[in-house]
Structure 1
């Protein structure tokens, strides 16, 4: 930390660059100040609050997410691929799931991603309102599932907690028998299964060719 002498010259871009290097999980104003060799007060001259810093850094991180649309994919396959791209990005950028959950979209990077996905669904015949609902629904499920996967990976590092969890499962014959019947699979396999089912259900509820409407109570789509 800088404690005296002439103040260092730095700008907002330097603050954001330092924040990205630190990462969203460990991001603090103090950490950015330390990285830049200045005081927290100097950082606050560029970003008024911790939340503002998180938004700027979060948007800079999201700027690296470039969604790819495969035009030959039908709508369900497209939505699952979109979810898988989000999952891969989140797993590579710890803290991005929390940012998505709290603040998305809250800047140009988030808007770019939403518009890209809405345009991809528009090319598949969906009205803008329906495309927004589908995009948001799949994104919400994908982000939550990826975040849970990250949390489980962290929990597995805690040997004591892992042993306790396995002991609880081993004590239930019902769970133990059911688990033995499930074929070997990866976290990605499970993710694709859940998101495929969700995408099929959402598309059935939000069909192409008409604006989104909520069904009346008891009404079938």
Structure 2
């Protein structure tokens, strides 16, 4: 913001705070500059690139995520609960799931979350390496499912959805298949998929067991 011929001062913290308010979907050097009432050149004096800005804002957003672990909770419910916490947090913060999907961890907030989950699995009999493999597999599945859910929600009411439904309606087999699927919510489906995923992963990588050595097993 310019007043009296002078440029208002701002800090890197102001840049990050503006970015968090804007959100990761609409984040850009220009949007932050507009929010602060300055030029993009002024933003570049604090942040070297759009990618660096995304990392700063993404880590600030992830700092708000505090995973909850009940040590008495059995392994599979714990893993599904961990996935559910990721889903709920990222659904409320558009762009966050895709941020995590592209590269994770990028900074201290991501490292803190990964360390938390490694510690939680350590209480359930996993060494750090196995805990990293297991938690990463669950997180990858959860985040991927959440990104897909957000993309589908963004298409609701669009011609693309009407075209897809019309195409399905033209298949007798698909009509029979969909008629046999019980009513369910996106969360119901998420829990179903993540429960099956967790059960399969635990069967392949049980507490105290070695990490499978073959590429096919991984």
TM-score by length of 2: 0.95
Moved more, 13-22 or 206-215: 206-215
Contact 1:130/1:211 (<8 A) preserved: yes
What are the Cα deviations for residues 88-146 of structure 1, in whole angstroms up to 9, with x where unaligned? 01110000011101221011100000000000000000111110000000000000000
| Equivalent in the alignment of 1:12 | 12
- Tell me if structure 2 keeps the 8 A contact 1:3–1:38: no
1:179 aligns with 2:178: yes
Query: Hey, what does 2:90 align to over in structure 1?
Result: 90
| 1:117 corresponds to | 117
Inter-partner Cα distance in structure 1 for 2:165 and 2:143:
26
- Equivalent-residue separation in structure 1 for 2:8 and 2:205 (angstroms): 55
**What's the RMSD between the two structures over aligned residues?**
1.8
Structure 2 CA distance for aligned equivalents of residues 136 and 216 of structure 1: 16
CA contact (8 A) 1:20 1:61 kept: yes
What are the residue-to-residue correspondences of 1:1-40 with 2, within 5 Å?
5-40=5-40
- Partner of 1:76: helix, strand, or coil? helix
Q: Label 1:36 to 1:125 Cα distance change in 2 as closer, same or farther (>3 A).
A: same
For residue 166 of structure 2, what is the aligned residue in structure 1?
167
User: Deviations along 1:30-57, whole A, 9 cap, x unmatched?
Assistant: 0100111110000000000000000000
Alpha-carbon contact 1:118-1:135 (below 8 Å) kept: yes
Q: By how many angstroms is 1:3 displaced?
A: 10
> Which digits, 9 at most, give the CA deviation of each residue in 1:150-187, with x for residues without a partner?
000001141x2221111011101101101101111111
Structure 1 residue ranges (4+ consecutive) displaced by more than 3 angstroms after TM superposition: 1-4
Contact 1:2/1:37 (<8 A) preserved: yes
Q: Tell me the distance in 2 between the aligned counterparts of 1:185 and 1:42.
A: 50
Question: Residue 30 of structure 1 contacts residue 40 of structure 1 at CA under 8 Å; is this kept in 2?
Answer: yes
Give, in angstroms, the shift of residue 70 of structure 1: 1.6
Match of residue 46 from structure 2? 46
Contact 1:155 1:161 in 2 (8 A): yes
User: Which residue of structure 2 aligns with residue 100 of structure 1?
Assistant: 100
Give secondary structure in 2 for the equivalent of 1:18: helix
2:126 aligned counterpart, secondary structure: coil
Note the residue ranges of structure 1 that are not aligned, 5 or more in a row. Answer: none
Number of equivalent positions? 218
Mean alpha-carbon deviation: is it higher for 119-128 or for 67-76?
67-76
Q: TM-score, normalised by structure 1?
A: 0.94
2: CA distance, partners of 1:196 / 1:179: 22
Gaps of 5+ in 2: none
Check whether the contact 1:128–1:211 (CA below 8 A) recurs between aligned residues.
no
Distance 2:4 2:129 in 1: 56
CA distance in 2, matches of 1:172, 1:162: 16
